Amino acid sequence: MVIVSLIGLLLLTGCTTNQTGGQLKKGNESDSSLKDSEKKEIAMELVSSAENSSLDWKAQYSYIEDIEDGRGYTAGIIGFCSGTGDMLQLVKGYTDSKPENLLAKYIGALEKVNGTDSHEGLGEAFENDWKAASEDAEFQEAQNKIRDDMYFNPAVDQAVKDGLSALGQFIYYDAIVMHGPGDGSVPYEESFPGIREAAINKAKSPADGGNEVDYLSTFLDERDKVMKLESAHEDLSRTIAQRKFLKEENYSLQKPLQWEMYGDPFKIDQ
């Protein structure tokens, strides 16, 4: 999925710079992981605010529509797309675990429309079956698995290797949700790894002795360039929110979190 993917408010009393130039957060903040259950829930809500204008990400298993971004249908909890291959992988995975399901009959059609914005062989019947299948706990788990295997875990793992905080881990995750994991569904330079590579070429990551704020600011600059290439993504609300949290030094994504997304205010305070 290239979709279209996802931040907070904590004022630190101060931070110091270590000998390599990276930032040293107080307490255990530098060890904060987005894989922590509470942090992961925050990440899901932040992405949902961008993808679905709602913090209730668990209500999005049934979501499906064509947002006219050239990727066909966008659906589910992070916007799996019929035109980029992850929706096909999702339905295949669901069918592997539960052969008798409402969506198995669309695998052939999903294979044919992959790489296009076509609805051929899908249409209203597919939309209705998707919504019905979303009530199945196994389909929900299949969505969770693709999200984690293709997007969340790779993004967080890379961020940890780059020496990034929970905020940096989220910035990577939101980018991979929107721009994809570099699987060929979009040009490499427009994918998450391409954006990261462009940033690395201009600023050192904390793992290489760089400053996290400088590095993440550069990463967001490179992401902005890619977002502006498409009319569906040219609104920079996602990265504006992330820059806000970076400026507020909320490296651990501590609550309360306040931001705006496409003009709508959001808050996570409990």
pLDDT in tens, 84-128: 999 999 999 999 999 999 999 999 999 999 999 999 999 999 999
In this predicted model, what pLDDT tens digit does every residue of 119-128 receive, in sequence order? 999 999 999 9
Res 9 pLDDT > 60: no
Which of the residues are catalytic? 51, 69
Residue 122 and residue 91 in contact, taking contact as beta carbons nearer than 8 Å: no
Torsion angle, CA of 195/197/198/203, rounded to 10 degrees? 120
Res 59 pLDDT > 70: yes
Q: To the nearest whole percent, how much of the chain has pLDDT over 70?
A: 89
Alpha-carbon dihedral sign for residues 201, 214, 147, 105: negative
Res 8 pLDDT > 60: no
Domain boundaries, the chain: 16-261
CA atoms of 117 and 115, how far apart (whole Å): 7
CA atoms of 25 and 167, how far apart (whole Å): 12
Res 78 pLDDT > 80: yes
Q: Place 12 in a pLDDT band, splitting at 50, 70 and 90.
A: very low
User: Which of the residue ranges 27-41, 67-81, 179-193 would you say has the lowest mean pLDDT?
Assistant: 27-41
Phi and psi at residue 259, to the nearest 5°: -160, 170
Name the more confident of 6 and 180: 180
Phi and psi at residue 56, to the nearest 5°: -85, 75
pLDDT given at position 185: 86
Q: Span 50-57, mean pLDDT?
A: 95
**Neighbour-count burial of 263, counting CB atoms closer than 10 A to its CB (0-12 exposed, 13-18 middle, 19+ buried):** exposed
CA atoms of 62 and 6, how far apart (whole Å): 20
pLDDT given at position 32: 82
The DSSP output letter for 69 is: S
Q: Span 21-39, mean pLDDT?
A: 63
CA atoms of 259 and 188, how far apart (whole Å): 30
User: The whole model's pTM is what?
Assistant: 0.86
CATH superfamily of 16-261: Chitosanase, subunit A, domain 1 (1.20.141.10)
DSSP H helices, the chain, are: 37-52, 86-97, 107-113, 123-133, 137-146, 153-161, 166-179, 192-200, 212-227, 237-247
Q: To the nearest whole percent, how much of the chain has pLDDT over 90?
A: 84
Q: Span 253-269, mean pLDDT?
A: 97
Beta partners for residue 131, in sequence order: none
